[in-house]
Amino acid sequence: RGRPKVDLLAGLNPAQREAVLHAGSPVLVVAGAGSGKTRVLTRRIAYLVGERKVHPGSILAITFTNKAAAEMRHRVADLIGGRAKLMWISTFHSACVRILRSDINRFGLSRTFSIYDDADSKRLMQLVLNDLGLDPKKYPTRALLSWVSNQKNELIDHETAASLATSEQDRNNAAAYAEYQRRLAAANALDFDDIIMTTVHLLQAFPELREQYRRRFRHVLVDEYQDTNHAQYVLIRELCSTELSDAAGHAGETERDGELGRDSEHDVEPPELMVVGDSDQSIYAFRGATIRNILDFESDFPGARTILLEQNYRSTQTILNAANAVIVQNENRKPKRLWSEAGDGPLITGYVADSEHDEAQFVAREIDKLRDEKQLTYGDVAVFYRTNAQSRAFEEVFIRVGMPYKVVGGVRFYERREIRDAIAYLRAIANRADDVSLRRILNVPKRGIGDKAEGAVADLAARERISFGDALRRVDEIDGLATRSARLLTDFAAFMDAHEAMVTNGVPADQILLSVLEKSGYLAELSGSEDPQDETRLENLQELIGVAREFVAEATPVAPGDFELTAEDLAGLTAEELAELALLTGVDPQTGELATAATMPAASDPGESASEGSDPDGEPEDGSLSLAAGAPEPDPSLGAFLERVALVADSDQIPDTNESAGVVTLMTLHTAKGLEFDTVFLTGLEDAVFPHQRSLQAVGDEDRAESSSRVAAYGRAGGAGSKRRDSKELEEERRLAYVGITRAQQRLYLTRAVVRTVWGTPQHNPPSRFLNEIPERLIDWRRLQSATTSWRNTSATSRSQTTWRARPGAGSYGGSGGADGGSPAFGSGRRTAKEVPVLAAGDKVLHTRFGLGKVIATSGSVEDPRADVDFGSHGIKRLAVRHAPIEKL
């Protein structure tokens, strides 16, 4: 049509181009942070569809979060239109859930299974431990769950675990594992790790099924490959390994392939595989991830080609130098160096805060300044910390100064009580076998169904070997049940029946949710309450309804043409953004038309029109694989919504780029992976905070002594002679530091607090060893010393002076009064006088652990004020005001 062809290779360096173009053998792209690995992956998908005319339905791309998946899909959708919906771009978990929804019945399980999250699993395991009579001191729930998780990540089922057990502990663990699995199956549920393991077992047990998926997915692409665990690796191998291709060749299936428009001449060839990763960014070893998967790629996939990228396009050279200086301290790594053409940029800013409050205030002040002086938006800024609990101090200050922010992860939305109640309702409605969910809400809000009535139903269920939900519908069979109880149970069953009918009739998820919350009386109870926390709960539920609405709107089928960008869409973009968009999408900025979509054959896409398979009850009983069922079709049903909710990863709460203009993002370092921000605050750089206490405990005795001493000098003090091996855990912490530093594009801030209050106890931690690993010349210390120096800090500082390896400026750490003047010394860890809130009855306070509370009475002395505070569900607490981590509101 005379329109210039889009160059999908433009804006790629030669190595990136090679990775996009490579065809045939498996390919591994290994490269440091910000070198364009994700860009290569996205471009390759676009290139496959746009240039190699690969059918979108035969592409499987795995990202680390659902958010990343959505972003990638969006970019490709811009290029090829609604057909992008035919691609599987998702996390490992989402992809596996889809395989299981279509094929788990081969294992005799129902396709309408529930997915248990961490809290569900924990409750289930507690029941198991109770039943087995295991001593909770010897077998803590958490430890046992993580043991089970490790087994599953290694694809060890409970029978195998039992046969491998050599100690009593192992035998008991395996017994708990077996019972836990039995109960999951009875509830028709899978936990998170089951999702991957069951999929692998399914593909291994049914070779013809595996062949079908191998034929379907002609291209498999995996981002963040360094964080795959063994089970995920085996899954990829099942789908892509050459060794298995001999088993291919079931006649009859080939024709089906042809119908779907995939290159049927290739169907005996293994799919093309591309994985990208960076072993320096492996931060999930504690969850079973192993960089062996990267290191062994070439031997696992013979004929594989490895492509290295070295140029970083994200960060300034100063930031890269800092990142490199930290990561070279790890011994177990392949040396590599990143370089950038972005120039040196500003120095890194360092700040030593008195306390975590002071640290947060500094961050807030700086963000304001950057907005004024550098025209940054809030959305350009991210604040990272090691553990979720650290978000609290930032939130307090940001709320006070009115700075808009969003905590990613943190107090996880989906873990809040009211949200879990609402989800439990929905699950019990979607899956009648889900006893745990049903019993959770049986009497929530209180409807007079007591333990006795519940017990009677449970007895009937046990006697008849039916689910609790089925027993609830048969209360007339229970002898000796009080008439009132029987009526209450019957009413409740009718309520559930009515909502089950809504599911059957295809009522969208948001309407079912709203109906449940209203008709159950849940909303009414909260709105009638005086408890301020209940108001927050109402808001949270409103947010959940909003989430459901958004989900339904998104999942409603798109009309062809919805993906075309209009000139209006393009208005308001900068010239640079326009150019990038044109490059990436093939949109002619003059007309807003899609160049490439027009060149795509308008062939009918079987998957696009297919809508069978969305009906949960319509499973074909012959167990045949309907390839169309695997194609993603818009599905606003309750089941689909619950699936989305169950799979929300922390990073999925990151605001969309265009919405985020007004929000500072707070998140843990783990959730920051893969992202980039103009300005990054890396906070809490103290030994025992980051690196985490656990990683220090794992080091040798000598180190333990050192780290347990709260006033210890710099961790690596002692000079070259004492260099020792770091623990595996410490090396993982260091990779986490590398991830954090390399998120920054222009500006990086490093902060630490001299005193940090943890669980109400003030702690003095020495500076993080990672700070010491960054060359002094890269950091401009805004403040080197706490303003409120206590005797302990002073002694720490002078110790650090004597052991400090000689470097310029180190002397300024020394004790003679802070450079900022500063207030007189206070007792160690106490709040300074100005920080102690003066409380009176009726005041509202925010406690880091107990949340919002109301002061009922005060007592004590001026020196040592006390307050009795009502924290609602946490009860009334008497607090030593000077020490309590509270904020007056």
Active site residues: 37-38, 223-224, 281, 743
737 marked as part of a ligand binding site: no
The reply, when asked if residue 700 is annotated as ligand binding, is: no
Residue 38 in the binding site for Mg ion (CB under 5 A): yes
Residue at token pair 């490059």: 583
Query: For residues 25 and 306, is the Cβ–Cβ distance under 8 A?
Result: no
Edge-to-edge, what's the strand order for the sheet holding 886-888?
876-880, 865-870, 851-860, 844-847, 886-888
Distance of alpha carbon 726 from alpha carbon 695, whole angstroms: 9
Q: 628 in the Ramachandran plot: left (φ > 0), alpha (ψ -120 to 50) or beta?
A: alpha
Annotated ligand binding at 721? The verdict is no
When the beta carbons of 313 and 414 are compared against Mg ion, the nearer one is: 313
34 binds, among ligand ATP, Mg ion, none (CB under 5 to 8 A by kind): ligand ATP
Q: Give the shortest CB-649-to-Mg ion separation in angstroms.
A: 15
- Nearest approach, Cβ of 407 to ligand ATP (angstroms)? 21
The answer on whether 34 is annotated among ligand-binding residues is yes
Q: How many whole angstroms separate alpha carbon 64 and alpha carbon 600? A: 30
CA dihedral 283, 285, 287, 292 (to 10 degrees): 120
Nearer to Mg ion, 38 or 153 (CB): 38
With respect to ligand ATP, which residue has the nearer C-beta, 13 or 490? Answer: 13
Give the residue with the Cβ less far from ligand ATP, 228 or 361.
Answer: 228
Close Cβ partners of 32 (under 8 Å, ≥ 6 residues apart): 278, 280, 309, 310, 312, 336, 338, 742
Q: Is 351 exposed, middle or buried (0-12, 13-18, 19+ CB in 10 A)?
A: buried
| CB closer to ligand ATP out of 71 and 733 | 71
Q: Shortest CA distance to 127 belongs to which of 78, 187, 87, 74?
A: 187
Residue 825: φ, ψ to 5°: -65, 145
Least distance between Mg ion and beta carbon 37 (Å): 5
How is residue 8 annotated by DSSP? T
> Please, which of residues 664-683 interact with Mg ion by CB under 5 A?
674
Give backbone dihedrals phi and psi of 845, rounded to 5 degrees, phi first.
Answer: -130, 160
Orientation angle between helical segments 391-401 and 356-374, nearest 10 degrees: 50
Site string for Mg ion, 85-124 (x = CB under 5 A): ----------------------------------------
Rounded-to-integer distance, Cα 511 and Cα 551, Å: 12
Query: Which of Mg ion, ligand ATP, none does residue 390 bind to, with CB < 5 to 8 Å depending on kind?
Result: none
Number of residues that bind Mg ion (CB under 5 A): 3
- Burial label, 412 (beta-carbon count in 10 A; 0-12, 13-18, 19+): middle
- Residue from 793, 795, 716, 797 nearest 762 by CA: 793
Local structure of 649: helix, strand or coil:
coil
Distance (Å, rounded) from C-alpha 71 to C-alpha 699? 40
- Least distance from Mg ion to the Cβ atom of residue 280, Å: 13
The answer to the question of residue 32 lying near Mg ion (CB under 5 A) is no
> What is the C-alpha separation between 717 and 376, in angstroms, rounded?
38
Q: What is the largest CA-CA distance in the chain?
A: 88
Helix axis angle, 638-646 to 532-555, nearest 10°: 120
Q: What tokens appear for 75 in the block? A: 């970019």
The residues near 47 (Cβ < 8 Å, ≥ 6 apart) are 8, 9, 20, 21
Q: Indicate the residue among 38 and 279 with the shorter CB distance to Mg ion.
A: 38
Smallest separation, CB 138 to ligand ATP (Å): 42
Q: What is the smallest separation between the CB atom of 744 and ligand ATP, expressed in angstroms?
A: 11
Q: Toward ligand ATP, which CB reaches closer, 227 or 358?
A: 227
Nearer to ligand ATP, 11 or 207 (CB): 11
Residue 637 touches which of ligand ATP, Mg ion, none (CB < 5 to 8 A by kind)?
none
Shortest distance (Å) from residue 425 CB to ligand ATP: 39
12 binds, options ligand ATP, Mg ion, none, Cβ within 5 to 8 A by partner type: ligand ATP
Question: Hey, what are 13's tokens?
Answer: 């360096």
CB closest to Mg ion, residue no: 38
Please state the closest distance from residue 310 (CB atom) to ligand ATP, in A.
11
| Distance between first and last Cα of the chain | 65
Tell me how far apart the alpha carbons of residues 705 and 712 are, in angstroms, rounded to a whole number: 9
Site for ligand ATP, rule CB under 6 A: 11-13, 16, 31, 33-39, 278, 281, 313-314, 674, 676
Residue type, 129: L
Decide: 134 and 170 in contact? Cβ < 8 Å: no
Structure token pair of residue 85: 């919906």
Residue keyed to tokens 């490579």: 22
* Site stretch for Mg ion (CB under 5 A), options 36-44, 166-174, 302-310, 394-402: 36-44
Q: Known binder of ligand: residue 32? A: yes
Give the one entry of Mg ion, ligand ATP, none that residue 885 binds, where binding means its C-beta sits below a cut-off of 5 to 8 angstroms depending on kind. Answer: none
Does residue 409 have a known ligand-binding role?
no
For the bound state, the minimum distance from the C-beta of residue 232 to ligand ATP, rounded and expressed in Å, comes to 18
71 or 619: whose CB is closer to ligand ATP?
Answer: 71
Torsion of CA 872, 361, 737, 316, to 10 degrees: 140
The nearest distance, CB 123 to ligand ATP, in angstroms, is 36
Please tell me what DSSP assigns to residue 884.
Answer: S
Distance of alpha carbon 118 from alpha carbon 260, whole angstroms:
39
Nearer to Mg ion, 526 or 739 (CB): 739
State the CB neighbour count (10 A cutoff) for residue 273.
24
Residue 35 marked in a binding site = yes
Q: Is the dihedral of CA 662, 668, 669, 670 positive or negative?
A: negative
Q: Which does 473 bind (CB under 5 to 8 A by kind): Mg ion, ligand ATP, none?
A: none
Q: Compute the distance between CA of residue 532 and CA of residue 199 in angstroms, rounded to an integer.
A: 45
Estimate the crossing angle of helix 207-216 against helix 230-240, to 10 degrees. 80
Q: Scan for tokens 């020495």, then name that residue.
A: 766
Q: Please, which residue, 37 or 499, has the CB nearer to Mg ion? A: 37
**Partner whose footprint covers residue 36, from ligand ATP, Mg ion, none (CB < 5 to 8 Å by kind):** ligand ATP
Residue 663, both tokens: 């929000």
Residue 559 CB, nearest distance to ligand ATP (Å)? 31
Q: Which residue is nearest to ligand ATP (CB)?
A: 36
CA distances from 179 to 137, 184, 779 (A): 19, 9, 55
Alpha-carbon distance of 542 to 27, in angstroms, equals 46
Residue list, annotated binding site: 31-38
Q: Which residue ranges make up the site for Mg ion (CB under 5 A)?
A: 37-38, 674
Residue list, annotated binding site for ATP: 31-38
